[in-house]
Amino acid sequence: MGDYREEFQRLLESTNIPSVGDRAKIEKDLDTFHKKVFHNTPERLFRYRKCDRYSIDSFQKGTIYVCNADRFSDKYDSRVFIDREKIVNYLKNGFQNAIHDLIKDIKEKNPNLIPERAAKICYLMECGLSEQEIADKIIKEQYPDFIKRIEEDMKKREFRFRGHEKTAKLGCFTESVQSKFMWDHYADGYKGFALEYNLKEFMYKSWRNPGPFEFKYVFPVIYADQMPDVTKDESNAYMREKCLNEEWMKSCAPLYYSIPLNAMHLYTPYLYKDKAEYSHEREWRMLYYDVNNKEDFALIPDMDCLKAIYYGPDISSEDKSKLREIAKAKGIAEYDVAFDIESRSYNLKLNKIMA
C-alpha cells in the first residue's frame, strides 16, 4: 500500500460537515468520511513499549493505553494556530455594525428600540459627534476589556486540545516494527518490546459494539510545516461558550448557535505534527472520546485484535520471560528483533519464535 497521508490530508481539509442541520445527512457524511479512512488503514500497525509494570500489566489485561496530549513530551503536539488579530478585528467590526444599526433605529424612531440602549448614543448625537466617532467612543469605553480578555482567552485555546476536559485521548501506532529510531526512542533503547495490532479489525468490532458516550477512530498523522489554522471554528465555539456564561451576551446565543462548526474540528488538532521532526515515524493515531472519563488517560479493551509481540534486541531475560508467558497464554505470534551482524545491512532482522 502506498502512502495514504497526502490523500488523507486533502480529504480532511476539503471535508466540511456542519455540526447543525439535518442529523441524518450529517451522520451519513461522517460515515462516508470514516469509511474512506477505514479502507486505507493498514491491517498491521505497531506500538513500541517500555518494559515497565504499566505496559506489561496493560499487555496482560488486553488493554490499549490512551492519554491526553499533555502527557507527550512535544509541547507542540495537538497545539493549533488561532489568528487572534483576525478575531479581534471581526469583533470590532461586529460591534461597529451593531452601533450603526442602533443609530439607524434611533433616527427612524423604531418602536421596538430599548430606551436604555439608546440614551448614551442620543447624548453623543446631541454633542455633534459623527456616527463613526460615536461608534469608536462607545467601543473604546465599553468593550476594550472584553476584547482584551478574548485575546487572552484565544491564546490559551491554542493549547486547549492538550488538556483534559472534553478532549480526545490518543494512542500512537506506527507502520514499521523495524525502525531503529522507534526502538531507541520509544522502547527504552532497544530494551523494550513492540506489539502488533490489526486496527481495522479493532475499528470494525468497536463500531459493532459501541460503548455509551464513547467514540474511537484511527487516522494517519499529517506531517506539515505549519500548525493547523482553526481560527473560524474555535472563535465560533468560544463565542457559544460566552453566550452561555455571560449574562449580557445571552441574547446573542441564537446567532452563534446557528453558525455550524465543521465536524472535522473534532479531529484536526490531533492529526498534524512537525514534518521536519517527525515524518520518519509514519504514525497513525487512535482518537478516543469518552465524555464520562475525566482522567487524563484511559485503558480501553484491545478487542482481541493484538496479533503479535516483538522482543527488542537488548531486552532483559527476566522481562522477556514475563512477556513470553503472557504471549503464550494469549496465543499470539512471537518474534525476536535482532541486529544483522552477518552482513553490511543496517536493517533489523525479525526471527519468528517457533512454539
**pLDDT in single tens digits along all 355 residues of the chain:** 468 999 999 999 999 999 888 899 999 999 999 999 999 999 999 999 999 999 999 999 999 999 999 999 999 999 999 998 888 887 777 778 878 888 888 888 888 777 776 788 888 888 999 988 888 888 788 777 877 888 888 889 999 999 877 789 999 999 999 999 999 999 999 999 999 999 999 999 988 877 777 899 999 999 999 999 999 898 888 888 877 777 766 666 776 777 788 999 999 999 999 999 999 999 999 999 987 888 899 999 999 999 999 999 999 999 999 999 999 999 999 999 999 888 898 999 999 999 7
pLDDT at 310: 98
Whether 30 and 116 share a structural domain: no
Whether residue 172 sits in one domain with residue 144: no
Q: Are residues 328 and 211 in the same domain?
A: yes
Rounded CA-CA distance 247/244 in Å is: 8
DSSP state of 261: P
Q: CA-CA distance, 160 to 6, in Å (whole number)?
A: 26
Q: Is 81 helix (H, G, I), strand (E, B) or coil?
A: strand
Same domain, yes or no, for 34 and 151?
no
323 shares its domain with 189? yes
pLDDT of residue 251: 65
Domain boundary among 121, 156, 191: 156
Which domain range does residue 134 map to? Answer: 84-156
Do 13 and 147 lie in one domain? The reply is no
If asked whether residues 134 and 164 sit together in one domain, one would say no
Residue 116's pLDDT is what? Answer: 72
Taking the C-alpha atoms of residue 96 and residue 91, their distance in angstroms, rounded to an integer, is 8
Query: Degrees (nearest 5) of the Cα angle 121, 125, 126?
Result: 120
Q: Residue 48: exposed, middle, or buried by beta-carbon count in 10 A (0-12, 13-18, 19+)?
A: buried
Contacts of 256 (CB under 8 A, 6+ apart): 236, 239, 240, 243
**Are residue 190 and residue 60 in the same domain, yes or no?**
yes
Task: Determine whether 236 is exposed, middle or buried from the number of CB atoms within 10 Å of its CB (0-12, 13-18, 19+).
Answer: middle
Can you spell out the DSSP letters for 211-260?
Answer: PTTEEEEEEEPEEESS--B-HHHHHHHHHHHHHHH-GGGGGGHHHHHHSP
CA atoms within 13 A on the CB side of 44: 11
Q: What is the pLDDT of residue 249?
A: 66
C-beta of residue 287 within 8 angstroms of C-beta of residue 268: no
- pLDDT for the residue numbered 113: 75
> Are 218 and 129 in the same domain?
no
pLDDT at 75: 94
Do 273 and 183 share a domain, yes or no?
yes
279 and 185 belong to one structural domain: yes
The whole-angstrom separation of Cα 45 and Cα 185 is 17
Q: What is the pLDDT of residue 1?
A: 47
Burial class (CB in 10 A: 0-12, 13-18, 19+), 229: middle
Domain boundary among the residues 156, 172, 191 is at 156
pLDDT of residue 248: 62
Beta bridge partners of 83: none
**pLDDT score of 87:** 83
Domain boundary among 134, 156, 178: 156
Assess contact for 68 and 167: CB atoms under 8 A: yes
Q: Are strands 297-301 and 272-274 parallel, antiparallel or unpaired?
A: unpaired
Closest CA to 124 of 112, 114, 136, 113: 136
Integer angstrom CA distances of residue 48 from 85, 232, 238: 42, 37, 37
- Look at the chain and report how many structural domains it folds into: 2
Cell of 99: 452601533
Residue 199 and residue 284 in one domain: yes
